[in-house]
Structure 1
Amino acid sequence: MESIYFDHAATTAMHPEAIRAYAEAAEAGPGNPSSLHARGREARERVTAGRDVFAERLNVSASELVFTGSGTESDNTALFGAAYAQRKKGKNGIVTTAVEHHAVLNACRKLEADGFELTVLPVDSDGIVSMEDAKAAIGENTAVVSVMAGNNETGTLQPYADIGQWARTYKAVMHVDAVQAFGYVDFDLNQLPIDLLTLSAHKINGPQGVGLLYARKGTPFQPLLYGGSQERSRRAGTENVAGIAAFAKAAEIAIAERQARREHTESIREAFIRRLETSLGSDGFAVNGHPVRRLPHILNVSFPGVSSESMLMNLDLAGIAASGGSACNSGSLKPSHVLSAMNLSSEKVSSAVRFSFGLGNTREEADKTAKMTATISARLRNS
């Protein structure tokens, strides 16, 4: 049976060149970047080369980049690191949004349990935070503001640059989770009002288990992990040399091919929607998220009268991989906190499926999957 993978927002296949970079580093033999001997120096050179790739592409100093073990670790390191450092200066407020990834939301709730004042900004029916709400929430007491760039469930883009500019007025640290947006959106961090930025390798055809945190020079920060002096004492633990080499290669390719990636995934998304319209009619489904201010590779669709579970189970039986939302929650029966925060009807929330596109996908696959989805939807509704 042919298999179709439409769950790239959860994780992506490694790019062949990233695999080669990983294998080359792994086959070089043992080498700890902290060791002084030749093997150690060689490993450190690979880490340094990888850091330089990101420094050039993000337009920052290499010294401002910290390699971590995941996007979640980068988010946690950013939030806890900045919040506790800011509290020493008398700032005790945390501001985030209701549609953040749980790596941010749950970290913010832990900070609230530790005595910080948490404000969770609402979103509109398209999933966008209003500047008016952000301005009302951010003030002299604000320690950290965390707003994602592009949503992992709907693809909706937030006004993170405008919010970051306002946060600077009050010397609040601005954190942006760019895990889903990187590779589709340009991040010139020398120009953007962002102090901390989170990236993850496995979302851009790199390996799982590697993340990156940008920490602008001078940003209040204290480490989350304690141990050795790796990463300029900001993240203890031996660096994942092969993973970093592959991450850097994947980032090189993603940025060099960014426009082509956008056009490719957008064309697949459009083909998918056109086939749904033909096969189901415009009343048979609803697209969730902002129609324009969005990432091109994510399509969140509700099928009235059909539960997400039933749809996903039937798609899986047909060899099609999709998701009910965030990869961290898709194995549970909980409704999407993102769609719920958008105040969509319970029917829309309970019938939503996320299709996400990437490397190797084709318009033909989109057409075939949309036809299959329409068939399943009609069958389940009639039953």
Structure 2
Amino acid sequence: MKQKPATLRDVAQAAGVSLITASRALSNPDIVSAKARERVRQAVEATGYIPNMLAGGLKSKRSLTVAGVFPALAVTEFLPIMQALSSDLAREGYQLLLGETGYDPAREAAVLDTMIGRQPDGIVVVGLVQTQRARDRLRRSGLPVVELWELSDRPVDMSVGFSHLKVGSTLGGYFLSKGWKHVGAVTGADPRARLRTEGFRTTYGGDVPIAVVQPPSNLERGRRALAELLEKSPKLQAVCCTSDMLANGVLTEARARGLRVPQDLAVCGFGNTDFSAYTVPSITTVHVDGSGMGRLAAQLIMDRCRGKVQAQSIIDVGFRLIERESTGGQSAADAPLGPEYR
């Protein structure tokens, strides 16, 4: 038979105190004697009592939770955001509730509806909210909202990120500086990856063959994408990938075909994920400060909860190009960070 969860009345009975004393010992311990607090603490441990945070939140108007809505939880580039956001919120006594949208606008809207209904103290969305209905719902909720990983001059509330078009444009200029005549691109089908590819093609100019893969990126899709590009452009000299995971797949397929990197084929990624410096060869990539964005988002939400008005509601964190062995640069141990762009 399933055991019923312990109640506050069970705690009071086990501690030998009144119900009101047990309640005060948990919600406002400074007004209860040290002896009574200790008896209640021991009773909580003995009974396995878990306080009803929702009930407490209704009184304090705080749920002590923040919702984090991610396109995909397993995407390597998003992990530093998740970790920094979670740890910084935990230091403030808050917990991070995670939702996953699968890059689907309709699913994102449904996840946001659910999160709003749970009344968190703030919502962090990785990427710009995709539908006008969801944006309107968030504004009407009155909750602090931070859109991460992308910039907008008209955010729902606050925006912390960088320009994906500028990332692509910077990579296009880098490829031009290398003198490569036959280049291609491997891109995810999501809006931000397409923006990076658009920036790359516009700056590089000419006819750039493209292989499009469905998100989230993985090594297999990177391998298949290089095979597709080589069919379109047998003289391919360099490939620009919209993620390090895709770049790693391209490296793997190149090796399987006996192509030397970078002598026969140069490869560039995006995200500066934790493995990119340690592949053989190491991957030239674009560094974005995911941890810093996570910390900024936590700070903005906490400041708003304290009633503090932010000096900035739109923060451009910029990015850096890191040249490594996959495009003829230095080894990971020696390669310096390139120039910073904002």
TM-score range, shorter chain: 0.3 to 0.5
Report the structure number with the largest CA radius of gyration.
2
Higher relative contact order (CA 8 A, sep 6+): 1
Q: Name the TM-score, length of structure 1 as normaliser.
A: 0.33
Q: Name the TM-score, length of structure 2 as normaliser.
A: 0.36
